Chain A
Amino acid sequence: MRFYDKLIGIFKSFKDSTSNTGVSANLTAELTLISTLLMACLLLRHINILLSAVILLGFAVVLLTNMPLIPKFKSEQDDSLNKMLFYVIITLGFIITIMYWGGNFV
Chain B
Amino acid sequence: MNELIPIMVIIPMTCALLLSLFSNQNKLIKGLAFFVAICIPIIPLLSNYGLHYFGGHAPLISNLTGVLYHPAVTYSFQSLQKLFIFLLGILVFLVVFIYINSYKKASGPYLFLIFMGTAAITALMLSDDIFHMFIFFEIAALVQVGIIAASSIEDRYETALKYMIMGSIGGPMLLLGIGILLAITGSVNITDIVYAINHNLVSMNSPVFLLACGLIFFGWLYTSGLPPFHTIKSAVYSKAEPHAAALLQAFTVITLVSILIAMFRIFSNLPIFEALLVGFALLAMILGISMALTQNDFRRMIGFLAVGELGFIVLGIGLNTEFALTAGLFQAINEMIVTALLFIGFGVVADLIKTSDIRKTGGLIAYYPKLAIMILIGGFSMAGVPPLNGFQSKLMLIQASLSSGFPEISIIAILVSIATFVVFVKVFYAMFLKPKPNDLVIPNKKVPRSTIFAMAILLIMCIILGLFPSIITGYISGFVGGLL
Contact = CB atoms under 8 A, between A and B. Distances in A.
Interface of A: 18-19, 21-22, 24-26, 28-29, 32-33, 35-37, 39-40, 42-43, 70, 73-74, 77-79, 81, 84-85, 87-88, 90-92, 95-96, 98-100, 102-104, 106
Given A85-B169, A91-B228, A99-B211, 20 more contacts: A18-B296, A21-B429, A22-B359, A25-B293, A29-B293, A32-B293, A32-B418, A43-B282, A70-B290, A73-B291, A79-B159, A79-B232, A84-B229, A90-B228, A98-B214, A99-B210, A100-B211, A103-B207, A104-B210, A106-B271
Contacts of A33: 286, 290
B291 A103 contact: no
Contacts of A91: 218, 221, 227-228
Contact of B290 (A24, A29, A96): A29
B214 A79 contact: no
Contacts of B230: 77
B174 to A, nearest CB: 12
B239 to A, nearest CB: 10
B213 interface: yes
Given A43-B409, A99-B211, A99-B272, A81 B165 contact: yes
B424 to A, nearest CB: 11
Interface in B243-283: 270-272, 275-276, 278, 282
For the side of the interface on B, what is the size category? 35 or more
A103 B228 contact: no
Contacts of B96: none
Interface string B371-382: 000000000000
A32 B415 contact: yes
A85 to B, nearest CB: 8
A2 to B, nearest CB: 26
B211 A29 contact: no
B426 interface: yes
B217 interface: yes
A17 to B, nearest CB: 10
The dominant DSSP class at the B interface is helix
A26 B293 contact: yes
B394 to A, nearest CB: 15
A37 B231 contact: no
Contacts of A92: 169, 173, 218
B55 to A, nearest CB: 36
Contacts of B205: 103-104
Contacts of B406: 43
Contacts of B285: 36
B154 to A, nearest CB: 12
